[in-house]
Each structure stands twice: as structure tokens, then as C-alpha cells.
A and B are shown apart, each in its own frame.
Chain A
Amino acid sequence: AQSVAQPEDQVNVAEGNPLTVKCTYSVSGNPYLFWYVQYPNRGLQFLLKYITGDNLVKGSYGFEAEFNKSQTSFHLKKPSALVSDSALYFCAVREYSSNTGKLIFGQGTTLQVKP
């Protein structure tokens, strides 16, 4: 069965410091991997995705993510955090072979960036 784990409920960083939000996944085949961000009282916004090829994926707002097949991880990163990056972040996975389009989400990680 597919699953996604985000091991940290909350990540705290100081503004200007690099940030990492961790995600590991489990699928029986090859994965499509996604990161979404949710600001308070809003819907989820797409940040970036991994399809195939280059293991480093760049996305919106200066975020990037590194796919590591051997560690089944897809960690979200940003070189220099902003206070406005404070939000709830979700990792999600879908199998290549899925004909249902079912997207499995992690439980979310709250990012708090302090000035």
C-alpha cells in the first residue's frame, strides 16, 4: 500500500537560514511526488513535483526538493527562509501505475520562520 510519512509535526527556523522539511514515501512501483503548501484558512497550493530525471526539482517561491530513490525520500528545501514561508506543508505520492489518480498525503508539517 502507498504511504507518506512526514516525521516532524513542526519545523522552526530563523529567517535567512536554510530550511528542510522531510518526507519519506512507500509505493510498490515508481512514484510521482508532490509538495503542496497551505496558508491559514486557504486551500492547498502546488509547489513542485518529481516526475522523472533530475533528482533536484525546482519549484515556486524559491523552493526545491531532492528525490532520493535509495532512501525513498523527497525532502523540501529552501536556501534562505522568509517569515512569509510560515505555513503547513504537505508531501504527497501517486504511483506511476495508478489508474485511479489517487494521491496519498502525509500528515503535514508546520513550518515556523521566526524573524
Chain B
Amino acid sequence: NAGVTQTPKFQVLKTGQSMTLQCAQDMNHEYMSWYRQDPGMGLRLIHYSVGAGITDQGEVPNGYNVSRSTTEDFPLRLLSAAPSQTSVYFCASSQGTGYYEQYFGPGTRLTVT
């Protein structure tokens, strides 16, 4: 199993540009989520999905869109990049909610200039 994969590893955008961060998992997990990691702030939930076709907002959803057309894939779209979106983004998946632990991808480091 590859686990959770994310592409790209690094990205530099100009303010106003859009892009999609890719996330895929091969563990047949129902639950997937996107976090951003900023120094001294831990990880903050952006969006999550409890299954294909179902998504919902987390703590910091503004400026981001998601969709979940398949169990495997959960892309994160930045609609119009802003410097405040400079961060490290992590995708995670788990068998479900409750006591299931989440498995994390390697992250995407995004810089918006």
C-alpha cells in the first residue's frame, strides 16, 4: 500500500492564482480530511469528507473548495491564492470517525507571493 499520497511536494503561487492540491489513498478509507499547519498553531481542519459525495467545512474553510467524487481522491482547490494561505498542507484518511486514527500524507509546502 502506498498509503496517503499528495502532490505536489512544493508549490509557489502568485497572489490571485488558483491551483489544486491532490490527495489520494489506497486503503479504502471512508473519512478524509485536509489540514493546514502553521508554526505554533498545530494543525487546523480545512474541510473533511465522511464518504464519496459528502463534504463539509472545518475550522478554516474560507478560500478553499473540495469535492469527493471517489473514495480514493480528495482534492483541495485554492480559488484565488492569498499570502495568508502560505502554509504546509496535509491530507489524512481513516476508516471512520470515533476512535479510528488518521493516516497522514507527506504534505505540500505552499508559498504564495
Contact = CB atoms under 8 A, between A and B. Distances in A.
A90 interface: yes
A44 interface: yes
Contacts of A32: 98-99
Contacts of A41: 107
Contacts of A105: 35, 42-44
B33 to A, nearest CB: 7
B45 A103 contact: yes
Contacts of B104: 36, 43-45
Interface string B83-113: 0000000101010111101111111000000
Interface residues of A, number: 26
Interface in B35-85: 35, 40-45, 48, 50, 56, 58
Contact of A101 (B40, B50, B105): B50
By size class, the interface of chain B is 20 to 34
Contact of B101 (A49, A90, A99): A49
Given A101-B50, A107-B40, A43 B90 contact: yes
Given A32-B99, A44-B104, A103-B102, 9 more contacts: A42-B106, A43-B4, A43-B90, A46-B101, A94-B98, A94-B99, A96-B98, A101-B96, A107-B42
